[in-house]
Amino acid sequence: ERTLLVHGFAKAYAMTGFRLGYLASPQQPIIAAALKLQSQVNSCASSVSQHAGIAALREVPEEMLAPLYKGLKDKRNAIVSALREIPHVVCPIPKGAFYVFPDVSHFLGKNAKSAKSGRVVNTSTDLCNYLIEEHGLALPPGDAFGGPTGVRFSYATSMEDIQRAVERFRAGLEDLEIDE
């Protein structure tokens, strides 16, 4: 009677981008309140997402998911380890996402400048703009997620792409000249 089940498909079935989940509860007032909130936040999941979710629930046996979960854990551990090898980068281990969010505060707010262009890097947005323009690495800045001293890496990709991204990140940070 006092149980709420909240579930999403992105992580459980590797359905990122579908924006699909569900809530189940025997408590009608809770369901009514959730529906009221949901109706004001978004309209509805697309029919494609709904059918994909149904197929995942009905047709994907749990044993098929174990290798997916292991692969994601291996990629998570690899990117965390590689980022932690970069001096002054602090990278916590995420507990349930396809993303790591390393802290790059050492490189921000110190009039860091690109050795090539002289571009000033004071915020995570500045850092991400610098990385894409001068090192070919696209990362969302932490500012967009309420974490102004971080950047976000996705590890829902190949191990090769992860290695290439970390190499470009390292090169970009090493090319910064910092006033200390």
What's the confidence (pLDDT) of residue 165?
A: 98
Report d(CA 122, CA 120) in Å as an integer. 6
Report d(CA 136, CA 128) in Å as an integer. 10
Grouped pLDDT means (10 residues each) for the chain, 180 residues: 84 81 86 82 80 92 90 96 97 91 93 84 94 96 93 95 98 88
Task: State the CB neighbour count (10 A cutoff) for residue 132.
Answer: 14
What's the confidence (pLDDT) of residue 128?
A: 96
CB contact set of 80 (below 8 Å; sequence gap of 6+): 91, 92, 93, 100
What's the confidence (pLDDT) of residue 43?
A: 66
What's the confidence (pLDDT) of residue 104?
A: 97
Backbone CA torsion sign across 15, 18, 19, 22: negative
Predicted model pTM:
0.76
